[in-house]
Amino acid sequence: MAHFITIAGPQSSGKSTAINYLKKKYPKWYFLETIDPYTIGGMEHSGAAYTDRDLQINLMKIELIKINAMKNKNKSMFIAELGIFRLVYAHYFYHKKLADEYFDPYIQAYDDYDSHIIFIDTKPEISFKRRKNAYVERIKNRGIKDKKLFDRTLKKYQDTIFRLYPHWLRLYNKLRYPKTIIQNSYISEQEFLTEIDKVVNFIRTSE
């Protein structure tokens, strides 16, 4: 059975850094195309904190189709960013009922593979510190110049990171697939990538 590894974690935890590193080192593996608000909403979209319910549902539907379609690929290693952890956003921004509705379809899709979870645990204060400049640029690009509105919008991004954090951990604890946590709040990028590589190759060589 093919290995399917989901790399998940809070904002700016290092998910994309890990995926890009693995793509370069293991180009023959299959990497599931990233599905995010910008995929459908365009680069002018304001991010997860401003994703409406219909867009969130579309993101989940598209991702499930892609995960199920991987079975047709002649590969032994599949890597995805976020994957089932998209339910964190569905739960937080909309309602637990919506997340519950899509939980079983994700599980059914994951059960067709030897699924593993790598969770990059980054504390919310570190996530916001890493992400702040990107948020500032995003707000500027929206044409917001009023200082009070600017500060209020930036605060919304910050609050979202802190409030999402326990939801990430809750879903991680709920899943019953083999799981590994990598702490990435205070280590160097090289230490982080070395750990990613070690965990991924342990999974690859496991039965």
Q: pLDDT digit of tens for each residue in the chain (207 aa)?
A: 899 999 999 999 999 999 999 999 999 999 998 776 666 555 555 555 556 778 888 889 999 999 999 999 989 999 999 999 999 999 988 878 999 999 999 999 999 999 999 999 999 999 999 999 999 998 998 899 999 999 999 999 999 999 999 999 999 999 999 999 999 999 999 999 999 999 999 999 986
Residue 24 has what pLDDT? Answer: 96
Which stretches does DSSP call E strand in the chain?
Answer: 3-8, 30-31, 77-81, 114-121, 179-183
The range of the structural domain enclosing residue 100 comes to 3-205
Residue 99 has what pLDDT? Answer: 92
C-beta of residue 69 within 8 angstroms of C-beta of residue 21 = no
Residue 47 has what pLDDT? Answer: 55
Domains in the chain: how many in total? 1
Residue 34 has what pLDDT? Answer: 79
Read off the CATH number of the domain in which 148 is found: 3.40.50.300
C-beta of residue 60 within 8 angstroms of C-beta of residue 67 = no
Strand order in the sheet with 114-121: 30-31, 77-81, 3-8, 114-121, 179-183
